[in-house]
Structure 1
Amino acid sequence: MDPLDVLTNIEKTLPYYQAIFSADGHRVIGYEVLARFQNEGEIESLGPFFHDDAIPDEYRIEVDYAVLTQALEHVLTQEEQFLIFINQNPNLLMNDHGESLLELLQLFENKGLSLDRIVLEITEHNFSGDLESLQHLLKYYQTYG
């Protein structure tokens, strides 16, 4: 998939939801947001797009936030209170010290989404920055729920 196709057709990006089950209660406790792209009638995973370091960070962030915005808008329409699992690349997150993501989440908090329903999934083993700075950011996020 050509990254420019994704960027010039960002309206064709969409969230898919993968159920997360509780081992204790054997029930769905939340959904992981997965990014997809509708390409000529086919639905393709955007995983390779997000993992391609040759694609500029700002492009990957733009697409990620477009999908995340759609997902959070959908969550606001649901009566059931479930957790929302969001994958974040720590290298991209630290570009602006996590401020863009926090601003997006606070926008949805103002619309009625409780931030304690958000679970960030972050893989540290590919992180190329200062781990202490990342840990500081995550503690900062925790103060918001």
Structure 2
Amino acid sequence: SDGGENSSGGIVVETLLNIRTVASLTIEKMRTDEYARCLRAETAGSLKTNLLKGMASGFGQFSQLWGMALMFWWGGWLLANHSDKFSFRDFMVSMFALMFALSGMAAATSGTVDKNKASAAADRIFTLIDRESAIDSLSDEGKKSL
């Protein structure tokens, strides 16, 4: 849910890092059940969120393609009705200038992130890395099968 050790990702990481211990204790079913429980808890609000993200992405694609179609239509209209003032070369220069400017602006703004969200994500990652697992596969304690 929040990306901690009790999240689905935390359970997978802990289980895979300590797979020998999990297998020797035959707790695969228990870990699978914990993982499924966490997935059910996490997917409660994710359908709406993913639907909104998909709609926003689709609207972005629609806007981009609609804008390009409008530019081509307008350029064609200008060339057909005002060929004495505009040439095909003028049309292509203006199209490429606008497209490269928009691409540069999109690339520049794609790297902007919310600093608080990025800091919280980094904290969650380091919490998972730095925590001590309840299962220590490197320990010499306990029964080992040879």
**TM-score, scaled relative to structure 2:** 0.24
By percentage of residues, which structure has more strand? 1
**TM-score, scaled relative to structure 1:** 0.24
Q: Please tell me whether Structure 1 or Structure 2 has the larger radius of gyration of its CA atoms.
A: 2
Which fold has the larger relative contact order, with Cα–Cα distance below 8 Å and residues 6 or more apart in sequence? Answer: 2
